[in-house]
Amino acid sequence: MVPERIELPSHALYPESKVTSKSVMGAGRFTDVYQGRMQIEATKKERLVVTKCIKNDDLLSRIFGNIDEVSIKSVKEAFHESLDIIHNSRHPHIVRLLGIMSTGAIILERAPGGSIDCYTSDENTNNSEADRMNTTKRTLGQISSMSVPTSSTKYVQLNTGQTVRTEVTTVNSSGYGDFNGENGDKTIETPKRNWIAWKLEVLWQVATALQYLRSRCLYHGKIKASNILLFTDGPINTPQPQVKISDPGVVHHMASKNNADYSREMDLSPPWIPIEYISSEVEKFPLCYDNWSYATLVAEIGQWCYKSFKMSVPLSRSDKDRYCTKRVRDLPAWIEDLNPKLHEMIRECWNPEPTLRPSFSDLLRELAIARVMASFMFLSNTLAMDDYMSVSTYQDMALTTVKQLGQGHFGVVELCSHDNSSNSVPHRSELVAVKSLRDNMRSVQNTSDFRNEFDIWREFDHKNIVKLLGLSLPSGRLVMEYIENGSLFSWLSQNRKQEVPFDSIFEQLFAFSIQICEGMEYIHSKGKIHRDLAARNVMVGSQFCSLDADKISLVAKISDFGLSRRVDATKTYYRGNPEEFPVQWYAPECIKDQSYHYTSDVWSFGVTLWEIFSYGQRPEYKNAEKKSHLTLVELFNALQEGCRLPRPVNCPTSMFEIVRSCWAFKHEDRPTFTSLLGKLQKEEVASRLKLGFTFSIQ
């Protein structure tokens, strides 16, 4: 009979006939588990469900010869007490109670992926026996031609001298996307799974559920891998599992005072059970009970659940020593590599003193940092952990948003105040720009591009490139130097609207042109192409004049490397999607062949120069007859026939010749940035002599 204290909506109490096609799924010490189908009234569709019921009294008596009526009653009460957890919980990572049958059996949603212990051990079946004995020393690394994933551990030397381990999985490449090579040949890239990020995602979800229960003064009491259910698993190249904690079942001590030994058998066995339940009898479960079990779960999942984690009872001398020294089981070494504080905190969950075990809110904070670091380990086919460790880190909690600076199709940039106070220097802060992906743009591809931007940007160190200061944790946002004057496009537009005479800023425009050229020459020297050079992506900063310490001059700094790419050392181009940035800055080969050469940036530089000397006008190619923008095909044909942007009124003829040279139809006919820099410097000297200027370029 359903206990009166559990308030259920009228439709949640079902007759036994509600669940059809029942078949035995398994059995526990006190319960039987069945799978079946149940029709949903609203949609008239069937869904797979699980039903669980207490074994009948006669069967319990036959199995446990010494069990009495009081103990049987306690089993039933404990079973129904567990309904409080799942019925009163509205959390995405706690299994849902769908209803209760008239017989007292409960109906739960079914997890298609089964339990985590079965799933992870199946995923790791290709590992050799020697690998199973020591996970942290696996060095497989071969690409499997089979569809079953194989895992390997690689050791990577960081710039800091630290060595980290990375678990990757290679899978059968058939059925995955490809890309075109130089001659149209198709090269298949074998996808890999970042299992460390996958495991951390599982542990994060379980911790959020336990934190939810803790906030409601509830505990689960049976946290182990076999009670964590996998509902969905994401694409192979992203850690997107969805897990839920199963119902705890019979977890509480029975009321019988004459059956203390039997009462303890109802709880978790070592090493999941806390030390206080082994050393002495405990009348009541403390709320920190799940913390101990969670730490053991971390070790269990970290070791692929293939080790026999269960300890013998009574404990051996070595197991007792482990219990008393916070070394109950070996934690995966990569946890300490990712976040030493998390590693230490998990060990503290095994503290013999219950009050000293860390809270789940503290664990979630450190897990968040580990998740960010693990995600940066897996960038394309290279490891970004090395890159991540070599930059400064900021804490999200120390960043306060002041205002939004700008927003593009994919990302948003905010002005933030960073509190870098210390004991010696209190109340100290600095302004920084922080870039993140928009919430509705967090697709797999966009996230990969965002990581690629970080990977490329961190390599740059040039006076005409916006400086990447570091990474904000745990969000993974990019922290940049704040450029107070905004973009070059905004600077030009503002001067035009204020009707500032063109001649009065002509000197500065020439300076900007040379500075942008110097920055692009540096980028190409690093084997990168920008792919999105435009006045909107050049920032206007300030610096002290080298000739006059009291004078501040403006300086152009290139930014926004979201579309930037590395160019293979054996090639001079990169293939990509021509729809990714505005067509007005396209070179012809980008439109037709979707290929981006070093000199494709030169074409964009010519358009940027046109923006500068047109005083911030927007470059437009229009159909003269339709008075509308040209399509990609129309634009390519027009460029092939020699159509180009007209010379701005205030642009000197000699300067426009340099601009026009950037727009040679064939990419190989365009100048390099090195040659352009020489031409611009000569033009700057000639213009200075002609106009009588006496300025110098910083």
pLDDT in tens, 127-175: 433 333 333 222 222 222 222 333 444 433 333 333 334 444 433 322 2
Helix (H) or strand (E) holding 239: none
pLDDT at 139: 24
pLDDT at 123: 58
Q: Which residue has the tokens 């479960």?
A: 285
Question: With bands split at pLDDT 50, 70 and 90, how would you rate the model's confidence at 183?
Answer: very low
For 413-445, write each residue's pLDDT tens digit. Answer: 999 999 876 545 555 688 999 998 876 676 667
Query: Is residue 232 over pLDDT 90?
Result: no
180 neighbors 348 (Cβ within 8 angstroms) = no
| CB environment 601-620: b (16+ within 10 A), e (fewer) | bbbbbbbbbbbbbbbbeebe
Query: Is residue 244 over pLDDT 90?
Result: yes
Per DSSP, what are the bridge partners of residue 13?
Answer: 100
610 neighbors 646 (Cβ within 8 angstroms) = no
**In Å, what is the CA distance from 581 to each residue of 194, 410, 478, 530, 596?**
30, 11, 21, 11, 12
For 511-550, write each residue's pLDDT tens digit. Answer: 999 999 999 999 999 888 888 899 999 999 987 665 555 5
pLDDT at 488: 94
Give me the phi and psi of 231, to 5 degrees please.
-95, -45
- Beta strand ranges found along 461-613 (DSSP E): 468-473, 477-481, 528-529, 538-544, 552-558, 565-566, 573-575, 595-597
Other beta carbons less than 10 A from residue 532's beta carbon: 21
Which of 132-146, 234-248, 374-388, 559-573 reaches the highest mean pLDDT? 234-248
Mark whether 32 is an active-site residue: no
231 closest CA partner among 52, 62, 331, 94: 94
594 closest CA partner among 535, 530, 687, 531: 531
Q: Average pLDDT of the chain? A: 75
Query: Is residue 636 over pLDDT 50?
Result: yes
Q: Which tokens sit at 338? A: 């990712």
All domains of the chain in start order, with CATH: 1-110 (3.30.200.20), 391-482 (3.30.200.20), 485-698 (1.10.510.10)
Say if residue 435 carries a ligand binding annotation: yes
Beta strand 565-566 with 528-529 is antiparallel
Order across the sheet with 31-40: list the strands.
13-14, 97-101, 106-109, 45-54, 31-40, 19-27
SS3 content of the chain, % helix, strand, coil (to 5): 40, 20, 40
**Burial (CB count <10 Å: 0-12, 13-18, 19+), residue 461:** exposed
DSSP state of 683: H
Catalytic residue among 532, 550, 593, 669: 532
